[in-house]
Structure 1
Amino acid sequence: MPSLWRARRRLLLIALGVLGVLQALLAIMVSLSVAAILEGNRALVGLLLATTLGLGVAQWIQKVVAEDLGQHYVHEVRRELVGAALVPGNTASLGVTVTRASNDLTAVRNWVALGIVPMVTGLPLIAIVLVALFIQDLRTGVAVTVPLLMCVAVLPVVARWTLKRARELRKKRGRMAARIADSVMAGELLHATGAIDRELNAVTRDSDRVVIAAVRRSWATGFSRALMAMAASLGTVSIVISGHLEVSEVAGIMMLLGVLATPVAELGRVVEYRQNYKAATRILIPLLQRGSEFKHSQQKLPGLQATEGIPGVYVKGISALPGERIYLHGSADATRKWVTSLSAMEEGTDVIVNGQRLSQLPLKQRRALIGIASAHHHLSRGSVSRLVGLRVPDATVEEIEQALEQVGLNNTGKQRLKNGGHPWSTSQINKLKIASATLRTPPLLVLEGITPENLLNYPGVIISTVQENPSETWRQVNI
């Protein structure tokens, strides 16, 4: 996981620590002011009101800074998580990926904003208040501290219990999310086979397991919260039972304990957020590491200079010169695997374009030499111009418009698509993919499941799994 102590987050953490100390000092001033006013010093009423208002403002600012810290951290993790999901070879279900990007990141955000923040601000506050209680009266300090330490000693046991229940719930929830995503995507098949009711029953069973797991987790999380709430109450009860303080002193101490009760009670929630975070990171950390390793490997690849006088391509045993057309003949599974290994540039995939070995090129240089359009590739959402320019991010508006015109999609650049290309037809979507793959005319063009339309005069090598242009000479290669 990314370091929390980084960049702007350092300032936010320091600000939270200062707010915690400030609240402790204001609480002590409130306590002393109440005791003095009850003894007859009415001149301190203004100070009491001001310090009380200061406490409220400090807590308000603390919530804002805590949310800023949590969102800033999750923003970084979310980017890395989505990047890891886009790494070639990722086989995670769509539902699982969405769950990780929502529930798991919510657990991360809660730990940062509602777990770490209460410790950064609460622990200094608790420590300062306890020291103040001991200074005022030794017996008062002992009466408050002993019940607090007794309850804190139980937290490690409760934490292990909470972690077990949190991992169980996360597993059930991920399975349910995967089931729902797969069911929605298979909606047409389920309707055609009359299996909608059976699928709904399966979703209901998974949902029931989530409900049961959530209730079981609540026994652990509820106990930790109740335990720390009881710790704060026991301190107050101990002082009342001891009966060694005057009425004015009791009022001041009660005000101090009222301020202390909030951070003490929040320690119970900290346990819950910490264990949910640990359960989430057991899944997130391997994914983030995989994405980081892939990104690192792409950045460290050495670039090769183009070798003059060696035009043409060599692709997994297929040699071709510019202008040649290769028909890739084979089963649907075989051609799909062939194109997938090429687009992912898997280890052992030997591709040389104009004298440059693609496996040794950085991604930016590689995508300038090869364009791939596949009927199986799912479009992301966005404007048509954005989708066409994904392979060449620095393409100009004129270049994108020209690529669209060549495939017959004139004046469509500003139109926005979603849900895999809605509202366009399959034919229009395939044309868009060809426009993207042919942008800046890469020397090698690979088409899978897409008819090579409007490519009669394409100057580069075309490898296609569809052969429907009789005016050209195609060389068949069996795989």
Structure 2
Amino acid sequence: MKSYLRPYSGRLTAIWLTSFTGIAIGIAIPLVGKQIVNGPVARGDTGALFPLALLALALGAVEALFVLVRRWLLADAVIGLETAIRDDLYRHLQRLPMSFHGAWQSGQLLSRVTTDLSTIRRFLGFGMLFLVLITVQITAVTVLLFQMYWPLGLLVAGSAVPVVVVSMRFEKGYIAISRQVQDEQGDLATVVEESAGGIRTIKAFGRGGHVFDVFDDGARKVYRTSMEKVRLSARFFTFLEVVPNLTLALVLLLGALAVGSDRLLPGDLMAFTVLMLQLVWPISSLGFILAMAQEAMTAADRVAEVLDTDPDIVGGAKAIDRPRGHLRFEGVEFRFPGAAEPVLRDVWLEVRPGETVAVVGATGSGKTTLTSLVPRLHDVTAGRVTIDGRDVRDLPLPVLRSLVATAFEEPTLFSMSVRENLALGRPDATDEEIEAAIEVAQAGFVHGLPWGLATRIGEQGMSLSGGQRQRLALARAVLSRPKILVLDDTLSALDVETEALVEEALRRVLRDATGIVVAHRASTVLLADRVALLLDGTVAHVGRHHELMAAVPEYRALLSAGLDADDADDDADDGLDDDLDGLDAEGALR
């Protein structure tokens, strides 16, 4: 926190200076009033009244000016601080590995970046300052009251004891209930986020009512916990309202008796009462500020959970001069944290520059996991992956991920224009390069969208068909001109005719890059120079397609199953997928 506050040290000094000066002026005004009542008013000296009245007026104006300056400086510092923490939190989230994001709910992360930081900002912008000021004000006024008339000062000081005791009990309960509310709000945000992302599936299965019930259960849980929090706060705030008002009544009663018995001057009682009134708001607001402090502490703990998580995938410092893209898996093993068995074990595979290797295996054999090790979405647990003889863990992550481009089976598109989605990996790409990538991916449908490449597609690209999303993701990967191109079953949603056109264009692209293609279809396998067969988590066979077909029964069985499925799809669909793509291009974005 100190590092965040350092740029605002000068302003913070000014804030504290204006705040404490304001308290001093606020205390001085009743003392001036005391002199007015005990002096000019008591003597009937109007000539001496006006200078003191003007002094009180001037003090009030200066106090108001200091409040204005304090609020302006504080708002600027606190909002800047919130922005800096939010930037660092989001930057840190980008550094954290896939294992972290896979374990955390997106709604919980969203609530930390938004709600929790706003809670911290509100406390820093109001609660923390006033907690200090209230403490100083209560102490100073109480000491002054003792000096003016100690019996009433003792009464005021004694009234603070039950407030302190009840506040400590309130604090313990409020910490737990605040954390529970914030966690449940994060769970509810996750339900909303997942429902928005999966709205097509929800509608397709007619499960809107079920999803609403899940949301309603979460919302009611938040409601019940929030009401429990409100009941706890209401009891505490009510107590804080009663104590200062009861104390004020007793001060007026006992003070009037003291004035009647000439033990206290009227001006002293007036000043004493005004000063006592200055304590009513601080004492009444103490519970609110303490509650705000507890919420801020809980929010800070939740934010710290993310910021204190060290990324277990960090880059090295050695770049590659003139990279060629020579890729090797050397005795690679990978197991997920806590898993009993490794997904991959003792994997040896070499892909030379300009060569394309297809990775084939049964569902769950580890094909996608193998490809994710190249850009270090996951890190090997044994062995190593090298590019041009350099361990990928020794390369800076930006350098590594500029060398490797991946097109996933389930493509992710963002709520931005088609051009921005395509140029995600190469913001400086020219129009000619973008058009060339579109041609390779057979994604010419983008020109038929309402505003062409400037068309803003919906979140996750839900306004496009599966085939269209895959083609855009493929064009994005091709546009980045990587040394290593990873295609993770990228053509699975394409119809046969489009797939053939894409494969023909890809052959030209793959001549200039090292290629790894996860394949399920026989037609995709033919893109590759060699084929690697994954069995039981390891590369059991490597060779040309016709060699494996002739010599490896397991490979022949896998490809035969794929051919049968392709034939069945061709007979049933007869180009239907392509027609649907065309329909989506014309109507889905209207």
Band the TM-score falls in, shorter-chain normalisation: 0.7 to 0.9
Find the partner of 1:53 among 53, 61, 66. 61
Match in the other structure for 1:346: 379
Matched, 1:25 2:24: yes
Alignment of 1:224-243 (within 5 A): 224-243=236-255
Alignment partner, residue 486 of structure 2:
446
Q: Which moved more, 1:261-270 or 1:203-212?
A: 261-270
SS of the equivalent of 1:371 reads strand
Deviation at 1:314, TM superposition (A): 1.4
2:110 matches 1:77: no
Matched, 1:303 2:342: no
Distance 1:331 1:12 in 2: 64
2:583 alignment counterpart = none
Q: Would you say the 8 A contact 1:353–1:369 is kept in 2? A: no
- State the partner residue of 2:517: 464
- Counterpart code for 1:54: V
Q: 1:4 to 1:305 in 2, by over 3 A?
A: closer
**Cα contact 1:383–1:413 (8 A) shared by 2:** yes
Identity %, equivalent residues: 17
- Taking structure 2 as the reference length, the TM-score comes to 0.71
The answer to whether the 8 Å contact 1:28/1:132 transfers is no
One of 379, 385, 402 as aligned partner of 2:433: 402
Q: Distance in 2 between matches of 1:341 and 1:225?
A: 57
Asked which structure has the greater CA Rg, the reply is 2
- Measured against aligned partners, the alpha-carbon deviations of 1:258-283 in whole angstroms (never above 9, x if no partner) come to 33333333321222122223333443
CA contact (8 A) 2:111 2:189 kept: yes
Match of 2:149 in 1: 137
CA distance in 1, matches of 2:237, 2:79: 24
Would the alpha carbon gap of residues 114 and 193 (structure 1) be closer, same or farther in structure 2, given more than 3 Å must change?
same
Q: 1:138 and 1:34, CA in 2 relative to 1: closer, same or farther beyond 3 A?
A: same
Deviation at 1:418, TM superposition (A): 4.7
What CA deviation, in whole Å up to 9, does each residue of 1:171-196 have, x standing for no partner? 33233332333333333333333332
CA distance in 1, matches of 2:195, 2:176: 29
Residue in 1 that maps onto 2:405: 371
1:285 is displaced (CA, Å) by 1.9
**CA offset at residue 434 of structure 1?**
3.3
Which residue of structure 1 aligns with residue 311 of structure 2?
Answer: 294
Please list the CA deviations of residues 21-53 of structure 1 after superposition, one character each: whole Å capped at 9, or x if unmatched. Answer: 112111122112322333432332222223223
2:490 & 2:229 partners in 1: Cα distance?
51
Give matches, 1:392-431, under 5 Å: 396-398=428-430, 402-408=433-439, 416-421=456-461, 426-431=466-471
Task: Summarize the Cα distance change of 1:397–1:304 in structure 2 as closer, same or farther, 3 Å threshold.
Answer: closer
Aligned position for 1:161: 173
Show the 5 A alignment for 1:205-216: 205-216=217-228
1:42 is aligned to 50
State the TM-score, normalized to the length of structure 1: 0.85
Contact 2:325 2:388 in 1 (8 A): yes
Residue in structure 2 matched with residue 283 of structure 1 by the alignment: 302
What is aligned with 2:137?
Answer: 125
Q: Which residue number in structure 1 is paired with residue 537 of structure 2?
A: none
Q: Which has the higher contact order (CA 8 A, sep 6+)?
A: 1
Partner deviation per Cα, 1:174-228 (whole Å, 9 max, x = no partner): 3333233333333333333333223322322222221111111112223343344
Alignment of 1:248-263 (within 5 A): 248-263=267-282
Distance 1:205 1:69, change over 3 A: same
Extract unaligned runs of 5+ from structure 2. 42-48, 259-263, 333-347, 492-501, 535-590
For 2:300 and 2:362, the matched residues in 1 are separated by 41
1:66-215 paired onto structure 2 within 5 Å: 66-86=74-94, 87=96, 88-89=98-99, 90-91=101-102, 92-215=104-227
Could you tell me how far apart the structure 1 residues matched to 2:325 and 2:171 are?
65
Question: How far is 1:231 from its partner?
Answer: 4.4
Aligned residue type for 1:144: V
Partner secondary structure for residue 328 of structure 2: strand
Contact 1:313–1:320 (8 Å) recurs in 2: yes
State how far apart, in whole Å, the 1-side matches of 2:28 and 2:240 are. 25
1:13 corresponds to? 12
What is the identity, as a one-letter code, of the residue corresponding to 1:81? L
- The 1-side partners of 2:457 and 2:209 are apart by 32
Q: Call closer, same or farther: CA 1:464–1:472 in 2, change over 3 Å.
A: closer
Matched pairs, number: 470
SS in 1 for 2:459: coil
Cα gap change, 1:357 to 1:270, in 2 (>3 Å): same
Residue 446 of structure 1, CA deviation: 0.5
For residues 389 and 406 of structure 1, do their structure 2 counterparts lie closer, same or farther at Cα, with a shift above 3 Å needed? closer
Distance of aligned partners of 1:307 and 1:352 in 2 relative to their CA distance in 1, 3 Å threshold: farther
RMSD (Å) for aligned C-alpha atoms: 3.2
For 1:26 and 1:37, locate their aligned partners in 2 and report how far apart those are by CA, in whole Å.
16
Is 2:361 the counterpart of 1:330?
A: yes
Name the aligned partner's letter for residue 376 of structure 1.
Answer: E
Shift of 1:383: 4.7
Deviation of the 1:160 alpha carbon = 0.3
Letter in 2 for 1:463: I
Indicate conservation of the 8 Å contact 1:437/1:445, yes or no: yes
For residues 351-381 of structure 1, the C-alpha deviation after alignment (integer angstroms, 9 at most, x for no partner) is 2222322111111221222111214242334
**Shift in CA distance, 135/386, structure 1 to aligned 2, threshold 3 Å:** farther
2:5 match: secondary structure? coil
When residues 377 and 262 of structure 1 are mapped into structure 2, their CA distance, relative to the original with a 3 A threshold, is: farther
User: Would the alpha carbon gap of residues 20 and 331 (structure 1) be closer, same or farther in structure 2, given more than 3 Å must change?
Assistant: farther
Partner of 1:268, secondary structure, is helix
Counterparts of 1:182 and 1:471 in 2: how far apart (Å)?
38
2: CA distance, partners of 1:248 / 1:4: 50
**Structure 1 residues 214 and 257, CA, compared in 2 at 3 Å: closer, same or farther?**
same
Structure 1 SS opposite 2:460: coil
Task: From the superposition, tell whether residues 136 and 213 of structure 1 become closer, same or farther in structure 2 (CA, over 3 Å).
Answer: same
User: 1:380 and 2:414 equivalent?
Assistant: yes
1:264-279 → structure 2 map (5 Å cutoff): 264-279=283-298
Helix, strand or coil for the counterpart of 1:456?
helix
What is aligned with 1:477?
532
One-letter code of the match for 1:267? L
Distance 1:146 1:129, change over 3 A: same
User: Counterpart amino acid of 2:530?
Assistant: R
Runs of 4+ aligned structure 1 residues displaced above 6 Å come to 409-413
- Describe the shift of the 1:100–1:178 C-alpha distance in structure 2 as closer, same or farther (beyond 3 A): same
Query: Which whole-Å CA distance do the structure 1 matches of 2:370 and 2:438 have between them?
Result: 26
Instruction: Write the distance in 2 (CA, Å) between the matches of 1:259 and 1:384.
Output: 61
User: What are structure 1's unaligned runs of at least 5 residues?
Assistant: none
Distance across 1 between alignment mates of 2:78 and 2:172: 24
- Larger mean CA deviation between 239-248 and 57-66 belongs to 57-66
Contact 1:227–1:268 (CA<8 Å) still a contact in 2?
no
Note closer, same or farther for the CA distance 1:14–1:351 as it changes in structure 2 (3 Å cut).
same
